[in-house]
Amino acid sequence: MTRFSYRKFFSSFKYAFRGLVRLIATEQNARVHFLIASFAAAMAIGFHITHVEVAVLFFAIVLVFAIEITNTAIEKLLDLVHPENHDQIAYIKDALAGAVLIAAFIAFVVFLLVFYPYFRALF
């Protein structure tokens, strides 16, 4: 059994953070998700939403990012392994994009469910 290495453990966070930064820097949809997530976070702070609402909103945002990261990683891998157009690769990429769309839709519904009462109270 290999001994636990704190250096390797903390290096993994460096690589993960670098991956997130690279994703946001290079992928347009990830930037859009980041801007919307930032807007939702600002609204959560502004409206002083409950801890449960924060948790649900956070989960929805993380779900979108996790699937977007997976989508991007698999797409990059497919482009590397098989750069030519291929029906099966197109199918895989479309399915992955569909997964991101479903996650984004779920996050949008969560956003509406969380913030609707706060908007309604304003008017």
pLDDT tens digit at each of 123 positions of the chain: 789 999 999 999 999 999 999 999 999 999 999 999 999 999 999 999 999 999 999 999 999 999 999 999 999 999 999 999 999 999 999 999 999 999 999 999 999 999 999 999 998
- Structure-token pair, residue 98: 């569909």
What domain range includes position 73? 28-115
Which runs of consecutive H residues, i.e. helices, occur in the chain? Answer: 6-26, 28-47, 51-81, 87-122
Which of 33, 12, 43, 65 has the alpha carbon at shortest distance from 112? 43
Our answer to whether residue 75 is catalytic in this structure is no
Residue whose token pair is 């989960």: 59
User: 87: domain CATH number?
Assistant: 1.10.287.3610
Instruction: Please identify which of the residues 27, 53, 68, 75 carries the catalytic annotation.
Output: 68
In a domain, 8, yes or no: no
HSE-CB for 105 with a 13 A CA cutoff: 6
Number of compact structural domains in the chain: 1
One-letter identity of residue 118: Y
pTM summary value:
0.88
